[in-house]
Structure 1
């Protein structure tokens, strides 16, 4: 016999297509039986392994995200460190300028004091050449502030009586007290060195 193909036609003459039912695979039942058997024997191990795998994935993702954030943080720290260093350098420069200014003022004062001392020495020398005493020339050289303070603070000196008599000489041993110096005649000349 020959193969004949029969086709259904709708009332309007178009070919009829039948809805096909889903095909069921007989192998899935054996697969479900195998999975059930594995779960009954190794279920707790599989559950524990799955949990450990989940925790490992979470840990690695956190670590990866923290590493991706760190380069901008180090860049920001580097910028902040550079700014601090610039500020410190500016403060050092400012302090050095202040120190240089103070040193310049100090040098000027030293030069003025040296010039004043030199002028006083010249005046003293000239006054000594003229036969005048040093004390007489030293008083006019004082500044007005020093002179006014020295006159207000000047106190009369009390009369001091000498502690020993006028004829006392410590080398001669006279004018006495309990101590006197006597050369030791027993010793010979010193050996010298």
Structure 2
């Protein structure tokens, strides 16, 4: 083994003198190193979580304050009165609309009854005229008298018929009577792909 020389460190004359730094709180320095390391690795995540927690607290405090203010007895009574007024107005509007609908339905029923009465009267007139041996047109108006009916059945002389087209009309050539002309399509192969 080698010879090892041991010297006293506290000896002022020794060549191997170690200067001691003033003692600091070593617990806080290790803590600051740990915190610095965490912030360097997870800093952005910690910032985002902090902002979200802050916003959540703000939202919950606003919600709590609005609930406490809305639950005040005077405002609750005003809200109840407002709701009651709205319901009364809606009920009045419903009643008014129902009355209008009932009036329209009565008018419609009256028109239907009049139409049925008119049809029944026309059927009776047709039946009576058939019993008397007269011919009755269903399209003739009931107010028409027999004299008017006899005058409307007179034969009118027919006028001379003119030919509809001239003799030189040919629809295939496009010459003649009308302004519309037909022309045959191009001959040849189609120009498809």
TM-score of the two chains, using structure 1 as the length reference: 0.37
Select the structure that is richer in helix: 1
Structure of greater Rg: 1
